Amino acid sequence: MVQELISLRQIIVEGRYQDALEIVDELEGMSKQAILRNIESFLIRLLIHLIKNQVKNRLTNSWAASISDSIRQIKKLNLKDNKKSHYVNQNQWSEYLEEAFEVAVIEASIEVNDGTYNPIQLEEIINKKEILEQSLCLINLTYQYSTRDLLSAIRDYLLNLPGGKEWLNK
């Protein structure tokens, strides 16, 4: 990106504004891709903990914290600088979740039951549809609640997960 900025400066100095706009477009694309990669990493983290929750039929403080933080980070990353639009619109998450799910199963297979299941076995015992629906419900909270109210909404949602009520009453 540094080289692009150096080139952009030179092109502007030379008065080649059309070329400058092309570099600006390229930089915007690079920035968006970086943001989407960060969002994907938090999606994977979210899915891993939802998978663990489903398999173990319980909710730990650590998993709840990871789920909550993943949703908070997705909200922050997804909101564009204008604070009015998003990189991923509310109706576009299915594709992102499907891609992240495949990676999450691989990573979760290492963590669930100390790696007892390989990814294929793990995918056979989990309810993918339910996990994707849970993820989508949690992501939808980012569109419905302010940053200030989001954590409370997530906590309320976590109570409905397997072991959620027991987690709250610890």
The pLDDT value given to residue 41: 97
Per-residue pLDDT of the chain (170 residues; tens, 9 = 90+): 677 777 777 778 778 778 777 767 676 766 778 898 999 999 999 999 999 999 999 999 999 999 999 999 999 999 987 778 899 999 999 999 999 999 999 999 999 988 899 999 999 999 999 999 999 999 999 999 999 999 999 999 999 999 999 998 87
CA 139 vs. chain centroid, Å, equals: 8
User: Is residue 122 within 8 Å of 55, Cβ to Cβ?
Assistant: yes
Q: Where are the domains of the chain?
A: 2-168
Q: Which two tokens stand for residue 17?
A: 């504004």
Q: How far, in Å, CA of 47 to CA of 114, rounded?
A: 17
